[in-house]
Amino acid sequence: MTSSKNAFNRRAFICKSSFLLAGLLKAQPATASGYNALQENTVSSLSGSLDTHKLGTTLMHEHVLFGNIPENLRSASVNIAVKMLNEATEAGVETIVDVSPYRDINLYREIDDRTTINIIASTGYYKQDSTPSALVGQNESAMEERIYREVTEGIEGTKIRAGIIKVAADHVPIPEWNKKVFRAAARVQKATGIPIATHAWIGAREQFDLLVKTGADPNHINLSHVDTVNGWGGKTREKFAAELLPVVQAGGFLLFNNFSCEFYTPWVDLVYLLRYYCDQGYAHRILISEDCNWEWKNGKQVFEAEEAHPEAAKRTYSYMMTHEVPLMLQAGFTKKDMKTFLIDNPRNFFSTKS
């Protein structure tokens, strides 16, 4: 099955995101169609196999739904997700990469049916304390089998295949349970070419080294949340940036998502990190995203960190285009940089052949 989710409303994009200029963030024309999910230059989406040249403007680390969805709020959850995704489409976003490895795939299908945006689902394992008990007790072989099945056959008995593998760790050294997850993911990546995204606000270098040692391709690994100051271990931004330079030199990607979140990363530090890697010649190894996620608390929609920091509720998918991109342009980044971060790099990250 080939995705048909590319009826993108470019007129709305140009009108509502004029700061990007007509055609600036436009996907390159497709070179072929009809690939299977594991063939060259394709990625599995909720709607089927998608040519990587059709990804267009892509947010690489998002959550369509997050946390437990109460039975009485399932319909409301779908409506909220559809509204936010349609707003993202109007703002210029063409693809969302969902990095929630546990989710109700049937709700995702309902959402997908009501949107034109491409949605790429994930498999894998999040932090141990956030993993369903039935999966926590799996041995490394069972972990590998589950990941492999969900990228080659389908998620939760469906024919919807995961297009990315999500793994996570919150400690250094990496705990043994998490090491099992990372090794299992690396072996599946080596066997299938499906890329890996990690939750790496701390220990990014350790995560990268473990994945590569186990056989994963550096060119298909992205380390998320590396801009989070609390994960720097008290290092200066200059020292921290230099410590991760070998990662991009080896082909890995760094993902930044703490825009407009001074409580996670001061804006001046975020700009410094982005400029540092660009100035070193590694703009082609930078990914940017919002990491939009919310959950139900006492029947109310609450965004991550919103209760302590009300501004966090602004972090919707569309906010990247309407607010973050203009801020980066004002900070001196170029339109070419924006295209590199949001179109070229996601395409290359998912492509198995240039």
What is the structure's pLDDT at 4? 53
Q: Is 190 in contact with 215 (CB distance < 8 Å)?
A: yes
In a domain, 196, yes or no: yes
Element (DSSP H or E) covering residue 58: strand 58-62
Q: Is 318 in contact with 264 (CB distance < 8 Å)?
A: no
In a domain, 67, yes or no: yes
- Residue 1, Cα to own-chain centre: how many angstroms? 23
In a domain, 10, yes or no: no
Q: What is the distance between the alpha carbons of residues 165 and 182, in angstroms, rounded to a whole number?
A: 10
In a domain, 20, yes or no: no
pLDDT tier at 143, thresholds 50, 70, 90: very high
Residue that the structure tokens 């530090």 belong to: 269
Q: Average of pLDDT values for 148-157?
A: 96
Q: Average of pLDDT values for 138-152?
A: 97
What is the structure's pLDDT at 262? 95
The residue ranking higher by pLDDT, 195 or 40, is 195
Q: What is the distance between the alpha carbons of residues 154 and 290, in angstroms, rounded to a whole number?
A: 27
User: Is 38 a residue whose pLDDT tops 90?
Assistant: no
CATH classification of the domain holding 343 = 3.20.20.140
Q: For the whole model, what pTM was predicted?
A: 0.90
- Among the listed residues 234, 131, 215, the one whose alpha carbon sits nearest the alpha carbon of residue 175: 131
Q: What is the distance between the alpha carbons of residues 225 and 255, in angstroms, rounded to a whole number?
A: 6
Q: 172-214: per-residue pLDDT in tens?
A: 999 999 999 999 999 999 999 999 999 999 999 999 999 999 9
What is the structure's pLDDT at 33? 29
The residue ranking higher by pLDDT, 37 or 168, is 168
* Biggest CA-to-CA distance, the chain: 52
pLDDT tier at 329, thresholds 50, 70, 90: very high
In a domain, 5, yes or no: no
Q: Give the range of the structural domain holding residue 222, as residue numbers without chain letter.
A: 38-350
Return the SS3 of 25: coil
Please, which residues have CB within 8 angstroms of residue 264's CB and are 6 or more apart in sequence? 227, 228, 229, 230, 258, 305
User: Is 35 a residue whose pLDDT tops 60?
Assistant: no
What is the structure's pLDDT at 68? 86
Return the SS3 of 294: strand
pLDDT tier at 17, thresholds 50, 70, 90: very low
Annotate 74-124 with DSSP letters as a single string. Answer: HHHHHHHHHHHHHHHHHHT--EEEE--SS--HHHHHHHHHT--SEEE-EEE
Q: How many domains does the chain have?
A: 1
Q: What is the distance between the alpha carbons of residues 85 and 115, in angstroms, rounded to a whole number?
A: 7
Structure-token pair, residue 163? 């297009």
Residue that the structure tokens 């949605």 belong to: 119
| Torsion from C-alpha of 311, 313, 318, 320, nearest 10 degrees | 40
Q: 90-141: per-residue pLDDT in tens?
A: 999 999 999 999 999 999 999 999 999 999 999 999 999 999 999 999 999 9
What is the structure's pLDDT at 352? 83
In a domain, 304, yes or no: yes
pLDDT tier at 31, thresholds 50, 70, 90: very low
Size of the chain, expressed as the number of residues it contains = 354
For 199, phi and psi rounded to 5 degrees? -90, 105
In a domain, 99, yes or no: yes
Helices (H) and strands (E) in the chain, counts: 13, 13
User: Is 13 a residue whose pLDDT tops 90?
Assistant: no
Across-strand partners of 160?
none
The residue ranking higher by pLDDT, 32 or 159, is 159
Q: Is 278 in contact with 248 (CB distance < 8 Å)?
A: no
Q: Is 8 in contact with 2 (CB distance < 8 Å)?
A: no
In a domain, 28, yes or no: no
